[in-house]
Amino acid sequence: MNDVKQTIAFRLGTLGAVMQERFASKIEAYDLKPKHVGLMAALKSGTVAASQQDLAARLGVAPSLVVALADHLERLGAVERVRDPGDRRRQTLTLTEHGAALLTRCAAAAGELDDEITASLAASERAALHDTLGRLAAGVGLPS
């Protein structure tokens, strides 16, 4: 294939950038960016409070980014930091009720975007796309 614009990688990247921009626009009223939502979603999916180091490893980002995101979310009342009594250097993060409510609003915004981008697809095509994207994500080690 000689045309980069025809590759799946290019199309997914371009579409991802557009969707991230649209999602960011929808959630800016909550004083959030997509990375904040990603951190809250990671906290919600965990069964126990996660340390900032653990979250950085799980999300594949620098620990300093998790600290900066958590600082902002803590100011919003969306997460709570607690020192680990067994290791005073370790802080765990938990999602607060307010954080869970914000995450629910963000999920609704993402659902609206899903509806917009898949409006031209039949229900079976939408389901197939969802399944395929999940398998592609799992294939590169992302949550599916």
CATH topology assigned to domain 4-119: Arc Repressor Mutant, subunit A (1.10.10)
Q: Is the distance from CB of 52 to CB of 93 less than 8 angstroms?
A: yes
**pLDDT tens track, the chain, 144 positions:** 679 999 999 999 999 999 999 999 999 999 999 999 999 998 998 755 678 888 888 888 898 999 999 999 999 999 999 887 888 888 889 999 999 999 999 999 999 999 999 999 999 999 999 999 999 989 988 776
Instruction: Give the C-alpha separation, 44 to 103, whole Å.
Output: 9
Question: What six digits make up the tokens of 143?
Answer: 């949550």
Strand order from edge to edge, sheet including 79-84? 50-51, 87-95, 79-84
pTM of the entire predicted model = 0.87
Instruction: Give the C-alpha separation, 49 to 80, whole Å.
Output: 10
